[in-house]
Structure 1
Amino acid sequence: MNFKDTKDKYSFDDLVEIVSLLRAPGGCPWDREQTHQSIKKNLIEEGYELIEAIDGGNPEKIADESGDLLLQVVFHAIIGKDSGEYEINDVTDAICRKLIHRHPHVFGEVEVADSGEVLKNWDAIKRADREQSSIAEELRGVSKYLPALMRAEKIQKKAEKAGYKFENEINLSVISDDVAEADSAPEKDCGQLLFAAVNFCRRAGVDPELALASYTESFTDEFEKFENGEN
Protein backbone atom coordinates (compact mmCIF):
# COMPACT_ATOMS: atom_id res chain seq x y z
CA MET A 1 0.00 0.00 0.00
CA ASN A 2 1.10 3.58 -0.71
CA PHE A 3 0.92 5.24 2.73
CA LYS A 4 1.48 8.63 1.15
CA ASP A 5 -2.26 8.47 0.46
CA THR A 6 -4.39 8.75 3.59
CA LYS A 7 -7.24 6.42 4.46
CA ASP A 8 -10.51 7.07 6.23
CA LYS A 9 -9.57 4.52 8.88
CA TYR A 10 -6.30 2.64 9.35
CA SER A 11 -6.31 -0.94 10.70
CA PHE A 12 -4.07 -3.03 12.93
CA ASP A 13 -2.60 -4.66 9.82
CA ASP A 14 -1.74 -1.19 8.49
CA LEU A 15 0.16 -0.45 11.71
CA VAL A 16 2.18 -3.66 11.38
CA GLU A 17 2.99 -2.85 7.76
CA ILE A 18 3.99 0.74 8.55
CA VAL A 19 6.38 -0.31 11.32
CA SER A 20 7.78 -3.03 9.05
CA LEU A 21 8.46 -0.42 6.34
CA LEU A 22 10.13 1.87 8.88
CA ARG A 23 12.44 -1.00 9.84
CA ALA A 24 13.10 -2.13 6.27
CA PRO A 25 16.08 -1.12 4.09
CA GLY A 26 15.45 2.41 2.90
CA GLY A 27 13.20 3.07 5.88
CA CYS A 28 13.87 5.26 8.92
CA PRO A 29 17.50 5.16 10.17
CA TRP A 30 16.42 5.62 13.80
CA ASP A 31 13.78 2.88 13.70
CA ARG A 32 16.23 0.49 12.02
CA GLU A 33 18.76 0.99 14.83
CA GLN A 34 16.39 0.11 17.68
CA THR A 35 16.57 -3.10 19.73
CA HIS A 36 14.43 -4.64 22.47
CA GLN A 37 16.77 -3.09 25.02
CA SER A 38 16.91 0.39 23.50
CA ILE A 39 13.12 0.93 23.52
CA LYS A 40 12.07 -1.09 26.59
CA LYS A 41 11.59 2.01 28.76
CA ASN A 42 9.10 3.36 26.23
CA LEU A 43 6.66 0.65 27.34
CA ILE A 44 6.66 2.03 30.87
CA GLU A 45 6.37 5.65 29.77
CA GLU A 46 3.53 4.96 27.33
CA GLY A 47 1.73 2.83 29.91
CA TYR A 48 1.73 5.63 32.46
CA GLU A 49 0.66 8.16 29.85
CA LEU A 50 -2.31 5.91 29.07
CA ILE A 51 -3.17 5.74 32.78
CA GLU A 52 -3.07 9.54 32.93
CA ALA A 53 -5.43 9.71 29.94
CA ILE A 54 -7.81 7.23 31.57
CA ASP A 55 -7.87 9.31 34.75
CA GLY A 56 -8.55 12.38 32.61
CA GLY A 57 -11.65 10.70 31.19
CA ASN A 58 -11.14 11.91 27.62
CA PRO A 59 -12.01 9.05 25.19
CA GLU A 60 -10.04 10.58 22.31
CA LYS A 61 -6.95 10.93 24.50
CA ILE A 62 -7.38 7.36 25.77
CA ALA A 63 -7.56 6.10 22.17
CA ASP A 64 -4.48 8.12 21.22
CA GLU A 65 -2.39 6.92 24.16
CA SER A 66 -3.60 3.34 23.62
CA GLY A 67 -2.19 3.61 20.11
CA ASP A 68 1.18 4.74 21.46
CA LEU A 69 1.27 1.71 23.77
CA LEU A 70 0.15 -0.62 20.98
CA LEU A 71 2.97 0.74 18.81
CA GLN A 72 5.48 -0.48 21.38
CA VAL A 73 4.06 -4.02 21.27
CA VAL A 74 4.14 -4.04 17.47
CA PHE A 75 7.64 -2.50 17.41
CA HIS A 76 8.99 -5.29 19.61
CA ALA A 77 7.24 -7.88 17.43
CA ILE A 78 8.84 -6.48 14.27
CA ILE A 79 12.25 -6.44 15.97
CA GLY A 80 11.60 -10.06 16.94
CA LYS A 81 10.68 -10.96 13.37
CA ASP A 82 13.76 -9.23 11.97
CA SER A 83 16.00 -11.27 14.29
CA GLY A 84 14.11 -14.51 13.65
CA GLU A 85 12.79 -14.76 17.23
CA TYR A 86 9.03 -14.38 16.83
CA GLU A 87 6.45 -12.30 14.98
CA ILE A 88 3.19 -10.51 15.71
CA ASN A 89 1.05 -13.60 15.06
CA ASP A 90 3.00 -15.40 17.78
CA VAL A 91 2.04 -12.58 20.16
CA THR A 92 -1.67 -12.77 19.35
CA ASP A 93 -1.57 -16.58 19.35
CA ALA A 94 0.02 -16.68 22.82
CA ILE A 95 -2.49 -14.30 24.42
CA CYS A 96 -5.49 -15.99 22.77
CA ARG A 97 -4.38 -19.38 24.02
CA LYS A 98 -3.77 -17.96 27.50
CA LEU A 99 -7.23 -16.36 27.68
CA ILE A 100 -8.95 -19.56 26.55
CA HIS A 101 -6.88 -21.69 28.94
CA ARG A 102 -7.46 -19.45 31.95
CA HIS A 103 -11.22 -19.07 31.39
CA PRO A 104 -12.40 -22.70 31.65
CA HIS A 105 -15.74 -21.43 32.97
CA VAL A 106 -16.34 -19.85 29.54
CA PHE A 107 -14.48 -22.12 27.13
CA GLY A 108 -14.65 -25.35 29.16
CA GLU A 109 -16.88 -27.21 31.59
CA VAL A 110 -15.86 -25.49 34.85
CA GLU A 111 -18.65 -23.78 36.81
CA VAL A 112 -18.11 -20.73 39.00
CA ALA A 113 -20.42 -18.90 41.37
CA ASP A 114 -18.92 -15.43 41.14
CA SER A 115 -15.90 -13.33 40.11
CA GLY A 116 -14.10 -14.35 43.30
CA GLU A 117 -14.02 -17.96 42.13
CA VAL A 118 -12.87 -16.78 38.70
CA LEU A 119 -9.84 -15.06 40.26
CA LYS A 120 -9.13 -18.08 42.47
CA ASN A 121 -9.15 -20.38 39.45
CA TRP A 122 -7.02 -17.93 37.46
CA ASP A 123 -4.35 -17.88 40.19
CA ALA A 124 -4.38 -21.69 40.48
CA ILE A 125 -4.01 -22.15 36.72
CA LYS A 126 -1.27 -19.51 36.62
CA ARG A 127 0.66 -21.28 39.40
CA ALA A 128 0.35 -24.59 37.54
CA ASP A 129 1.49 -23.01 34.26
CA ARG A 130 4.55 -21.58 36.00
CA GLU A 131 5.14 -24.84 37.90
CA GLN A 132 4.96 -23.01 41.22
CA SER A 133 4.41 -25.56 43.99
CA SER A 134 4.01 -23.06 46.84
CA ILE A 135 2.65 -19.59 47.56
CA ALA A 136 6.20 -18.48 48.42
CA GLU A 137 7.28 -19.35 44.89
CA GLU A 138 4.28 -17.38 43.60
CA LEU A 139 5.35 -14.35 45.65
CA ARG A 140 8.87 -14.60 44.25
CA GLY A 141 7.30 -14.75 40.80
CA VAL A 142 5.87 -11.24 41.13
CA SER A 143 8.03 -9.18 38.79
CA LYS A 144 10.87 -7.34 40.51
CA TYR A 145 10.60 -4.69 37.79
CA LEU A 146 7.23 -3.47 39.06
CA PRO A 147 7.24 -0.17 40.96
CA ALA A 148 8.10 -1.06 44.57
CA LEU A 149 4.78 0.09 46.04
CA MET A 150 2.81 -1.87 43.42
CA ARG A 151 4.90 -5.00 43.95
CA ALA A 152 4.47 -4.78 47.73
CA GLU A 153 0.70 -4.47 47.32
CA LYS A 154 0.49 -7.50 45.01
CA ILE A 155 2.62 -9.62 47.35
CA GLN A 156 0.55 -8.59 50.37
CA LYS A 157 -2.69 -9.51 48.62
CA LYS A 158 -1.39 -12.94 47.67
CA ALA A 159 0.01 -13.57 51.16
CA GLU A 160 -3.24 -12.52 52.82
CA LYS A 161 -5.27 -14.78 50.52
CA ALA A 162 -3.05 -17.62 51.73
CA GLY A 163 -3.93 -16.86 55.36
CA TYR A 164 -1.08 -14.59 56.42
CA LYS A 165 -2.12 -12.01 59.02
CA PHE A 166 -0.68 -8.51 58.80
CA GLU A 167 -0.54 -6.13 61.75
CA ASN A 168 -3.16 -3.41 61.39
CA GLU A 169 -1.29 -0.53 62.98
CA ILE A 170 1.77 1.39 61.80
CA ASN A 171 3.93 2.18 64.83
CA LEU A 172 5.62 5.31 63.52
CA SER A 173 7.25 6.18 66.85
CA VAL A 174 9.03 2.82 67.08
CA ILE A 175 10.32 3.06 63.52
CA SER A 176 11.40 6.70 64.06
CA ASP A 177 13.29 5.69 67.21
CA ASP A 178 14.99 2.87 65.29
CA VAL A 179 16.13 5.27 62.57
CA ALA A 180 17.51 7.68 65.19
CA GLU A 181 19.70 5.02 66.79
CA ALA A 182 23.38 5.18 65.88
CA ASP A 183 23.55 1.55 64.84
CA SER A 184 20.26 1.63 62.95
CA ALA A 185 19.66 0.23 59.49
CA PRO A 186 17.72 3.16 57.96
CA GLU A 187 17.10 1.44 54.63
CA LYS A 188 15.50 -1.54 56.37
CA ASP A 189 13.50 0.70 58.74
CA CYS A 190 12.26 2.92 55.91
CA GLY A 191 11.40 -0.18 53.91
CA GLN A 192 9.40 -1.49 56.86
CA LEU A 193 7.57 1.83 57.11
CA LEU A 194 6.71 1.89 53.41
CA PHE A 195 5.61 -1.76 53.46
CA ALA A 196 3.35 -1.01 56.43
CA ALA A 197 1.98 2.09 54.66
CA VAL A 198 1.12 -0.03 51.61
CA ASN A 199 -0.76 -2.44 53.88
CA PHE A 200 -2.62 0.49 55.48
CA CYS A 201 -3.63 1.82 52.04
CA ARG A 202 -4.67 -1.62 50.83
CA ARG A 203 -6.94 -2.16 53.83
CA ALA A 204 -8.49 1.26 53.20
CA GLY A 205 -9.20 0.29 49.59
CA VAL A 206 -6.68 2.80 48.24
CA ASP A 207 -4.09 2.14 45.55
CA PRO A 208 -0.82 3.32 47.19
CA GLU A 209 0.87 4.09 43.86
CA LEU A 210 -2.00 6.29 42.71
CA ALA A 211 -2.40 7.84 46.17
CA LEU A 212 1.24 8.92 46.25
CA ALA A 213 1.03 10.20 42.67
CA SER A 214 -2.09 12.22 43.53
CA TYR A 215 -0.56 13.72 46.66
CA THR A 216 2.66 14.57 44.82
CA GLU A 217 0.57 16.41 42.23
CA SER A 218 -1.21 18.28 45.04
CA PHE A 219 2.16 19.22 46.53
CA THR A 220 3.30 20.53 43.15
CA ASP A 221 0.21 22.77 43.04
CA GLU A 222 0.94 23.90 46.60
CA PHE A 223 4.56 24.65 45.75
CA GLU A 224 3.48 26.73 42.78
CA LYS A 225 1.43 28.89 45.16
CA PHE A 226 4.46 29.14 47.46
CA GLU A 227 6.71 30.15 44.57
CA ASN A 228 4.21 32.81 43.50
CA GLY A 229 4.05 34.16 47.04
CA GLU A 230 0.44 33.11 47.54
CA ASN A 231 1.06 31.43 50.91
Structure 2
Amino acid sequence: MMESEQDRWLKVRRIWEIIDRLRGESGCPWDRKQTPESVQTYLIEEAHEASAAIRSGHTREAADELGDLLFMVFFLIHLYEEKDDFQLQEVCDLICEKMIRRHPHVFGDATVRSDKEVRQNWEKIKAGEKAGKVKPSEGIPESLPALMRAYRMISRLAGKEDSRWNDVQARTQEFVGKSQILGNYMTSESPMSAKAFGEILLDLVNLARLKGYRAEDCLHEALKTLEGSS
Protein backbone atom coordinates (compact mmCIF):
# COMPACT_ATOMS: atom_id res chain seq x y z
CA MET A 1 0.00 0.00 0.00
CA MET A 2 1.39 3.38 -1.03
CA GLU A 3 2.08 5.88 1.71
CA SER A 4 0.30 9.22 1.58
CA GLU A 5 2.26 12.47 1.28
CA GLN A 6 1.34 13.25 4.88
CA ASP A 7 2.72 9.91 6.08
CA ARG A 8 6.04 10.64 4.36
CA TRP A 9 6.40 14.02 6.05
CA LEU A 10 5.48 12.51 9.41
CA LYS A 11 8.36 10.05 9.07
CA VAL A 12 10.74 12.85 8.19
CA ARG A 13 9.46 14.74 11.23
CA ARG A 14 10.11 11.66 13.36
CA ILE A 15 13.83 11.83 12.47
CA TRP A 16 13.88 15.43 13.69
CA GLU A 17 12.09 14.45 16.92
CA ILE A 18 14.64 11.69 17.59
CA ILE A 19 17.44 14.23 17.21
CA ASP A 20 15.57 16.55 19.59
CA ARG A 21 15.52 13.74 22.14
CA LEU A 22 19.18 12.81 21.66
CA ARG A 23 20.27 16.43 22.08
CA GLY A 24 17.94 17.10 25.02
CA GLU A 25 18.93 17.34 28.68
CA SER A 26 18.10 13.67 29.28
CA GLY A 27 19.48 12.59 25.93
CA CYS A 28 22.67 10.82 24.85
CA PRO A 29 25.93 12.16 26.40
CA TRP A 30 27.85 11.51 23.17
CA ASP A 31 25.29 13.22 20.92
CA ARG A 32 24.96 16.17 23.31
CA LYS A 33 28.65 17.05 23.11
CA GLN A 34 28.89 17.02 19.31
CA THR A 35 29.55 20.11 17.19
CA PRO A 36 29.36 20.65 13.41
CA GLU A 37 33.15 20.39 13.30
CA SER A 38 33.22 17.06 15.16
CA VAL A 39 30.38 15.55 13.11
CA GLN A 40 31.44 16.57 9.59
CA THR A 41 33.89 13.69 9.29
CA TYR A 42 31.04 11.21 9.86
CA LEU A 43 29.13 12.89 7.05
CA ILE A 44 31.94 11.97 4.66
CA GLU A 45 32.07 8.39 5.95
CA GLU A 46 28.30 7.95 5.61
CA ALA A 47 28.39 9.36 2.08
CA HIS A 48 31.05 6.85 1.06
CA GLU A 49 29.13 3.98 2.65
CA ALA A 50 25.95 5.03 0.85
CA SER A 51 27.87 5.25 -2.43
CA ALA A 52 29.28 1.74 -1.91
CA ALA A 53 25.82 0.36 -1.17
CA ILE A 54 24.40 1.91 -4.33
CA ARG A 55 27.25 0.46 -6.39
CA SER A 56 26.60 -2.98 -4.90
CA GLY A 57 23.12 -3.05 -6.39
CA HIS A 58 21.57 -4.18 -3.09
CA THR A 59 18.58 -1.88 -2.72
CA ARG A 60 17.88 -2.75 0.93
CA GLU A 61 21.47 -1.93 1.88
CA ALA A 62 21.25 1.29 -0.14
CA ALA A 63 18.08 2.28 1.73
CA ASP A 64 19.78 1.60 5.07
CA GLU A 65 22.90 3.60 4.23
CA LEU A 66 20.93 6.48 2.72
CA GLY A 67 19.01 6.60 5.99
CA ASP A 68 22.30 7.00 7.88
CA LEU A 69 23.30 9.81 5.53
CA LEU A 70 19.92 11.54 5.83
CA PHE A 71 20.11 11.36 9.61
CA MET A 72 23.60 12.86 9.61
CA VAL A 73 22.49 15.78 7.40
CA PHE A 74 19.53 16.50 9.69
CA PHE A 75 21.76 16.17 12.74
CA LEU A 76 24.15 18.80 11.38
CA ILE A 77 21.32 21.19 10.54
CA HIS A 78 19.94 20.69 14.05
CA LEU A 79 23.31 21.70 15.53
CA TYR A 80 23.34 24.90 13.47
CA GLU A 81 19.76 25.66 14.51
CA GLU A 82 20.75 25.37 18.15
CA LYS A 83 23.37 28.07 17.59
CA ASP A 84 20.85 30.26 15.71
CA ASP A 85 23.10 30.21 12.64
CA PHE A 86 20.33 29.04 10.28
CA GLN A 87 17.25 26.82 10.25
CA LEU A 88 16.05 23.84 8.24
CA GLN A 89 13.65 26.09 6.33
CA GLU A 90 16.53 28.24 5.12
CA VAL A 91 18.47 25.18 3.94
CA CYS A 92 15.40 24.00 2.00
CA ASP A 93 14.79 27.46 0.51
CA LEU A 94 18.41 27.80 -0.61
CA ILE A 95 18.55 24.44 -2.40
CA CYS A 96 15.14 24.92 -4.03
CA GLU A 97 16.12 28.35 -5.34
CA LYS A 98 19.45 26.99 -6.58
CA MET A 99 17.93 24.01 -8.42
CA ILE A 100 15.31 26.21 -10.11
CA ARG A 101 17.95 28.77 -11.08
CA ARG A 102 20.26 26.13 -12.52
CA HIS A 103 17.52 24.42 -14.55
CA PRO A 104 16.20 27.26 -16.72
CA HIS A 105 15.32 24.71 -19.42
CA VAL A 106 12.81 23.17 -16.99
CA PHE A 107 11.61 26.13 -14.91
CA GLY A 108 12.25 28.91 -17.43
CA ASP A 109 12.28 29.64 -21.14
CA ALA A 110 15.73 28.27 -22.02
CA THR A 111 16.08 25.35 -24.42
CA VAL A 112 18.74 22.66 -24.59
CA ARG A 113 19.44 19.94 -27.13
CA SER A 114 21.56 17.55 -25.09
CA ASP A 115 22.74 16.65 -21.61
CA LYS A 116 26.09 18.18 -22.60
CA GLU A 117 24.43 21.57 -23.01
CA VAL A 118 22.75 21.09 -19.63
CA ARG A 119 26.16 20.57 -17.98
CA GLN A 120 27.65 23.56 -19.80
CA ASN A 121 24.76 25.80 -18.75
CA TRP A 122 25.08 24.53 -15.18
CA GLU A 123 28.74 25.53 -15.02
CA LYS A 124 28.04 28.95 -16.55
CA ILE A 125 25.21 29.67 -14.10
CA LYS A 126 27.34 28.42 -11.22
CA ALA A 127 30.22 30.66 -12.29
CA GLY A 128 27.84 33.63 -12.43
CA GLU A 129 26.62 32.90 -8.92
CA LYS A 130 30.15 32.89 -7.60
CA ALA A 131 31.26 36.05 -9.45
CA GLY A 132 32.50 38.58 -6.96
CA LYS A 133 32.15 36.18 -4.06
CA VAL A 134 34.97 34.68 -2.03
CA LYS A 135 33.94 31.56 -0.17
CA PRO A 136 35.97 28.75 1.45
CA SER A 137 33.77 26.24 -0.39
CA GLU A 138 34.24 27.87 -3.79
CA GLY A 139 36.73 25.28 -5.03
CA ILE A 140 36.36 21.55 -5.54
CA PRO A 141 36.85 19.82 -2.16
CA GLU A 142 40.30 18.29 -1.66
CA SER A 143 38.64 15.52 0.36
CA LEU A 144 37.09 14.02 -2.79
CA PRO A 145 38.72 10.84 -4.16
CA ALA A 146 41.43 11.89 -6.60
CA LEU A 147 39.78 10.47 -9.74
CA MET A 148 36.46 12.10 -8.86
CA ARG A 149 38.17 15.42 -8.11
CA ALA A 150 40.07 15.24 -11.40
CA TYR A 151 36.82 14.63 -13.30
CA ARG A 152 35.16 17.61 -11.62
CA MET A 153 38.12 19.92 -12.27
CA ILE A 154 38.49 18.90 -15.91
CA SER A 155 34.74 19.20 -16.50
CA ARG A 156 34.83 22.72 -15.13
CA LEU A 157 37.79 23.66 -17.35
CA ALA A 158 36.17 21.99 -20.35
CA GLY A 159 33.07 24.11 -19.86
CA LYS A 160 35.02 27.19 -20.91
CA GLU A 161 34.95 28.17 -24.58
CA ASP A 162 37.83 26.97 -26.79
CA SER A 163 38.97 24.54 -24.11
CA ARG A 164 41.79 22.22 -25.13
CA TRP A 165 40.24 19.54 -22.92
CA ASN A 166 37.48 18.97 -25.49
CA ASP A 167 39.79 18.36 -28.46
CA VAL A 168 39.43 14.59 -28.79
CA GLN A 169 42.07 14.12 -31.47
CA ALA A 170 44.71 16.28 -29.79
CA ARG A 171 44.12 14.77 -26.35
CA THR A 172 44.24 11.24 -27.75
CA GLN A 173 47.52 11.88 -29.57
CA GLU A 174 48.99 13.45 -26.46
CA PHE A 175 48.01 10.42 -24.40
CA VAL A 176 49.50 8.01 -26.95
CA GLY A 177 52.73 9.99 -26.96
CA LYS A 178 52.99 10.00 -23.17
CA SER A 179 52.18 6.28 -23.06
CA GLN A 180 55.03 5.53 -25.46
CA ILE A 181 57.41 7.56 -23.33
CA LEU A 182 56.17 5.70 -20.24
CA GLY A 183 56.77 2.37 -21.99
CA ASN A 184 60.34 3.37 -22.83
CA TYR A 185 61.04 4.43 -19.26
CA MET A 186 59.51 1.28 -17.77
CA THR A 187 61.78 -0.97 -19.88
CA SER A 188 64.89 1.00 -18.99
CA GLU A 189 66.59 1.99 -15.78
CA SER A 190 65.79 5.67 -16.26
CA PRO A 191 63.87 7.25 -13.37
CA MET A 192 60.34 8.57 -13.93
CA SER A 193 58.65 11.07 -11.63
CA ALA A 194 55.33 10.59 -9.84
CA LYS A 195 54.17 13.77 -11.59
CA ALA A 196 54.52 12.05 -14.98
CA PHE A 197 52.27 9.20 -13.86
CA GLY A 198 49.79 11.78 -12.54
CA GLU A 199 49.67 13.58 -15.88
CA ILE A 200 48.91 10.32 -17.69
CA LEU A 201 46.14 9.56 -15.20
CA LEU A 202 44.68 13.03 -15.86
CA ASP A 203 44.68 12.29 -19.58
CA LEU A 204 42.86 9.01 -18.97
CA VAL A 205 40.27 10.73 -16.81
CA ASN A 206 39.63 13.22 -19.60
CA LEU A 207 39.49 10.62 -22.38
CA ALA A 208 36.92 8.66 -20.38
CA ARG A 209 34.94 11.89 -19.86
CA LEU A 210 34.97 12.60 -23.59
CA LYS A 211 33.36 9.20 -24.14
CA GLY A 212 30.72 9.81 -21.48
CA TYR A 213 32.33 7.90 -18.61
CA ARG A 214 33.64 8.84 -15.20
CA ALA A 215 37.04 7.31 -14.46
CA GLU A 216 35.96 6.69 -10.86
CA ASP A 217 33.09 4.48 -12.06
CA CYS A 218 35.27 2.73 -14.63
CA LEU A 219 37.85 1.83 -12.00
CA HIS A 220 35.17 0.58 -9.60
CA GLU A 221 33.86 -1.76 -12.31
CA ALA A 222 37.38 -3.04 -13.00
CA LEU A 223 37.90 -3.60 -9.27
CA LYS A 224 34.69 -5.65 -9.10
CA THR A 225 36.06 -7.91 -11.81
CA LEU A 226 39.41 -8.12 -10.04
CA GLU A 227 37.75 -8.91 -6.73
CA GLY A 228 35.64 -11.62 -8.34
CA SER A 229 38.72 -13.33 -9.79
CA SER A 230 40.71 -13.29 -6.54
What's the TM-score once normalised by structure 2's chain length? 0.76
> Aligned to 1:167, what secondary structure does the other structure show?
helix
The residue aligned with 1:122 is 122
Question: 2:140 & 2:36 partners in 1: Cα distance?
Answer: 22
Q: Runs of 5+ in structure 1 lacking a partner?
A: 1-7, 134-139, 224-231
Question: 2:95 & 2:180 partners in 1: Cα distance?
Answer: 48
Question: 2:25 & 2:51 partners in 1: Cα distance?
Answer: 35
Q: State the one-letter code of the partner of 1:167.
A: R
Contact 1:50–1:62, Cα closer than 8 Å, also in 2: yes
- CA RMSD, Structure 1 to Structure 2 (Å): 2.8
The residue aligned with 2:45 is 45
> Aligned to 2:171, what secondary structure does the other structure show?
coil
The residue aligned with 1:152 is 150
The 1:93–1:48 alpha-carbon spacing in structure 2 relative to 1, beyond 3 Å, is same
State which drifts further: 50-59 or 67-76.
Answer: 50-59
The 1:106–1:173 alpha-carbon spacing in structure 2 relative to 1, beyond 3 Å, is closer
Q: Deviations over 1:30-62 (max 9, x none)?
A: 111222222222222222222233233343333
Question: 2:159 & 2:123 partners in 1: Cα distance?
Answer: 11
Question: 2:25 & 2:154 partners in 1: Cα distance?
Answer: 49
> Aligned to 1:11, what secondary structure does the other structure show?
helix
Q: State the one-letter code of the partner of 1:175.
A: L
Show the 5 A alignment for 1:47-86.
47-86=47-86
TM superposition shift of 1:24: 1.6
The residue aligned with 1:167 is 171
> Between the two proteins, what is the percent identity of the paired residues?
33
Q: State the one-letter code of the partner of 1:155.
A: M
Question: 1:178 & 1:76 partners in 2: Cα distance?
Answer: 50
Q: Deviations over 1:140-164 (max 9, x none)?
A: 8333332111121122233334321
State which drifts further: 75-84 or 140-149.
Answer: 140-149
Q: Deviations over 1:66-119 (max 9, x none)?
A: 2111111101101111222222222112111212222333433x2314344433
What's the TM-score once normalised by structure 1's chain length? 0.76
Deviating 4+ runs (over 4 angstroms): 176-180
- Size of the alignment, in residue pairs? 207
Q: Runs of 5+ in structure 2 lacking a partner?
A: 1-6
TM superposition shift of 1:128: 0.7
TM superposition shift of 1:20: 1.9
The 1:25–1:90 alpha-carbon spacing in structure 2 relative to 1, beyond 3 Å, is same
Show the 5 A alignment for 1:9-24.
11-24=11-24
Contact 1:49–1:65, Cα closer than 8 Å, also in 2: yes
Contact 1:23–1:32, Cα closer than 8 Å, also in 2: yes
Question: 2:107 & 2:66 partners in 1: Cα distance?
Answer: 28
